[in-house]
Structure 1
Amino acid sequence: MAETLDTLAAALATGRTDSVQLVERALDRARGCESVFITLMAETALAEAHAARRRRAQGRPLSPYDGIPIAWKDLFDIAGTRTSAGSRTRADVAPATVDAPVVAATRRLGFIALGKTNLSEFAFSGLGANPHFGTPTADLPVNEPRMPGGSSSGSAVAVQRGMVAAAIGTDTAGSVRVPAAFTGCVGYKASQARYDMTGVFPLAGSLDSLGPLAGSVADCAIMDAAMRGQVAAPLVPARPTIVVDDVLLDDPEITAPVRAHVEAVIAQLSRQAPVRRQRIEPWHRAREAIARLGWLGAYEARALHLETLTGPQRDLIDPRVVSRLDGAARISAEAAAELMAIRAREMRALAAALDGALLLLPTVRHVAPPLAPLEADPLLFAQVNVATLALTMVASFLDMPGVALPTGRTADGLPFSTLICAAPGRDDDLLAGAAWVERALIA
């Protein structure tokens, strides 16, 4: 992975590097790895890098991070670029004329948009494959390529391969947390109300949220503040009370290595922080509602794309995405309304159940699966996709902000990931608690 944002800021401040060097290095790395970016903004990024270098020479940088390149998932409007949503159906869409507010906020602090990263088409998959723009893969010590996780696949790989120190994704059912888990990054999915969502191509408006991927919780906190137009104060880790739901962990679909790993994480943390074993009833009621009524995100995604799905461009869509959108036709408007009512009720109940504590669980039931078998078998792809999103989907339904932390490796070097979640709106507590967990597990 690339250096941290604060390390880069210190190097810029002391003159050990400059913004032009940083952007040129990032562009070289990006060009050397296929399928990570859909659009590289080389000319614009270099022009902004030169401007940042001049500002720093004059002693007036926009922030400590002025001149640092970052990447954006290709769902964010950036002036002068087309927002593809990873789909050929948007090949003729006009370029955006203004930046999405979260993009503009980071640019006002001097962050440089290097380009727009690849993703699952329409952001509608947890595995990260894209037949139109290729599937980016992480640099992992295994003999066969692994799925990068989706839908923010390119953002995760751009960080994991050291192209940028941070990249921004979106998350509706796991699209930041899953790619963070599969690639060994830190991924922070915020509460929905955390950011201005204007200028972000949607998947399901009731569930969509945003968040950064980076190499540390501190870097995620820096980007979180920047997306809200602020320079982050130093993140102070705070020891949380941790809740573990044994019924959740007894899920037979959680693979044995993942279960053993998360139990080891719990054991290690319990020596340093209070750990409360508790059945979180709102979680289980939410999971039952999804199983009984369907996934609200699929219902809303089908409604959003219905014209394309039933029109002449249907054949341009990834057949795996078409299958999922078609399947959402089984969800009635009445079921969607019931899901919305259940969601509102269980979100309130969750806050009371957690009572300020953070819920700990595996980010995904399994480690990153091999790419080739899933690319070759649509039925297997669909089955593994559902299994991949099973845990993060429930957390999204409850609007739980979450941090996916890399917490170890399998014997052959694949990342394990542990998810730390909070009640809706408790993002600051989550980041401070996740930073403490990160430090505690490294110590």
Structure 2
Amino acid sequence: LHGVELLVPENIVFDGVEPGVVAAFEAALERLQKAGAGVSRIIIPAFSEIFDLMARYGPLVTAEAFALHHERLAGADADRMDRRVVMRTRLGSKTTLPDYIAILDARNRLIADTERLVGNRLIAFPTVAHVAPPIGPLEQDDDLFFATNNKTLRNTALGNFLDWCGVSIPCGAGEAGMPVALLLSATARRDEALLGTSLAAEAFIRGDFT
């Protein structure tokens, strides 16, 4: 893995992460370094701005999902859908056309800014901030469900917004012995380079080699 340069973001992606997830991620990162990969820890300003945009305008994906499914949500089909999916998707109706255009303009700017910052390096952080949670409490408490769901989607949502490609590779276990994964990402249109490095790095990330 000599010549591979990894960036580990220090903002957003480790907020509220379970200790077991951090431990498994850092152990995998250490194995990658021993295999020759370089690691730098940086702040990626776009990460914070993405969530500022969501707080101001609502999530881009929610607005687009509502635009795609608004007829279903207004009719009998909504009764056949998970009520929580219906609730979340209907929130997209609050995003106005000027808001949507503002999100897209900001997205284009943040993609360009981040591509200049990252260059040809890869980005590494935990795929999910927590291991798989017990289902029972989530079924009984909508507030807990939405809070957990937001946390589950948070880290991967960043790459989605920035048009990144990514590969999630198991890297150990966290709380309750549940699986943890390391997400390797690259900027847009670098899929082949990312896949090649991921194949070379997979055994070290998984811990097959030490």
Q: Distance in 1 between matches of 2:2 and 2:105?
A: 34
Aligned to 2:26: 263
- Aligned in 2, Cα 1:369/1:390: closer, same or farther, shift over 3 Å? same
Alpha-carbon spacing, 1:240–1:322, altered in 2? closer, same or farther (3 Å): same
CA distance in 1, matches of 2:175, 2:69: 42
Alignment length (residue pairs): 206
Question: Aligned to 1:369, what secondary structure does the other structure show?
Answer: coil
The 1:287–1:430 alpha-carbon spacing in structure 2 relative to 1, beyond 3 Å, is farther
Aligned counterpart, 1:284: 48
| Paired residue secondary structure (1:418) | strand
Match of 1:437 in 2: 201
Equivalent residue number for residue 396 of structure 1: 160
Q: State the shift of 1:435 in Å.
A: 1.6
- 1:89-142 per-position Cα deviation (integer Å, ceiling 9, x unaligned): xxxxxxxxxxxxxxxxxxxxxxxxxxxxxxxxxxxxxxxxxxxxxxxxxxxxxx
How many angstroms apart in 1 are the aligned matches of 2:2 and 2:167?
15
- Equivalence map 1:55-134=2 (5 Å): none
Q: Are 2:180 and 1:416 equivalent residues in the alignment? A: yes
Give me the whole-angstrom Cα distance separating, in 1, the residues matched to 2:65 and 2:91: 11
1:334 to 87, 95, 98: 98
Partner deviation per Cα, 1:188-236 (whole Å, 9 max, x = no partner): xxxxxxxxxxxxxxxxxxxxxxxxxxxxxxxxxxxxxxxxxxxxxxxxx
**1:374 CA displacement:** 1.5
Question: Retained in 1: the 8 A contact 2:25–2:125?
Answer: yes
Cα distance, 1:335 vs. partner? 1.4
SS at match of 1:407: strand
Residue correspondence of structure 1 range 211-222 to structure 2 within 5 A: none
Q: CA deviation at 1:361?
A: 0.5
Report what 2:64 is aligned to: 300
Report the counterpart of residue 39 of structure 2 in structure 1: 275
1:382-431 alpha-carbon deviations (Å, 9 max, x no partner): 22111110111111000110001001123643101110000011101111
Counterpart CA distance in 2 for 1:255 and 1:409 is 11
Between the aligned partners of 2:47 and 2:175, the Cα distance in structure 1 is 32
Retained in 2: the 8 A contact 1:254–1:365? yes
**More displaced stretch, 365-374 vs 307-316:** 307-316
Q: Which structure exhibits the higher relative contact order, with contacts defined as CA atoms closer than 8 Å and separated by 6 or more residues?
A: 2
**Deviation per CA, 1:138-159, whole angstroms, max 9, x where unpaired?**
xxxxxxxxxxxxxxxxxxxxxx
- 2: distance between equivalents of 1:300 and 1:387? 21
Contact 2:2 2:37 in 1 (8 A): no
Which whole-Å CA distance do the structure 2 matches of 1:322 and 1:249 have between them? Answer: 27
Cα gap change, 1:341 to 1:390, in 2 (>3 Å): same
Q: CA separation in 1, counterparts of 2:2 and 2:103? A: 35
Mapping for residues 317-396 of structure 1, pairs under 5 Å? 317-396=81-160
Q: TM-score, normalised by structure 2?
A: 0.90
Quote the Cα distance in structure 1 between the aligned partners of 2:202 and 2:134.
Answer: 28
Report the identity percentage: 32
Distance in 2 of aligned mates of 1:268 and 1:238: 13
Give the partner amino acid of 1:418: L
Poorly superposed stretches of 4+, deviation over 4 Å? none
Q: Which amino acid aligns with 1:280?
A: I
Q: 1:304 to 1:424 in 2, by over 3 A?
A: same
Q: In 2, Cα distance between the equivalents of 1:410 and 1:250? A: 15
TM-superposition CA deviations, 1:350-405 (whole Å, max 9, x none): 21111100000010110011122222323322221111101111110001100010
More helix by share: 2
In the alignment, is the contact (CA less than 8 A) between 1:239 and 1:436 conserved in 2? no
TM-score, L = length of structure 1: 0.44
In structure 1, distance between residues paired with 2:51 and 2:196: 28
Structure 2, unaligned runs of 5 or more? none
Q: How does 1:138-287 map to 2 (within 5 A)?
A: 240-251=4-15, 253-271=16-34, 272-287=36-51
Structure 2 counterpart of 1:399, one-letter code? D
Q: Which runs of 5+ in 1 are unaligned?
A: 1-236
Q: Is the 8 A contact 1:409 1:416 kept in 2?
A: yes
Cα distance in 1 between the residues matched to 2:122 and 2:160:
15
Any idea what the Cα deviations from partners look like across 1:228-278, whole Å, max 9, x if unmatched?
xxxxxxxxx885210012234541x21222122222222222232111222
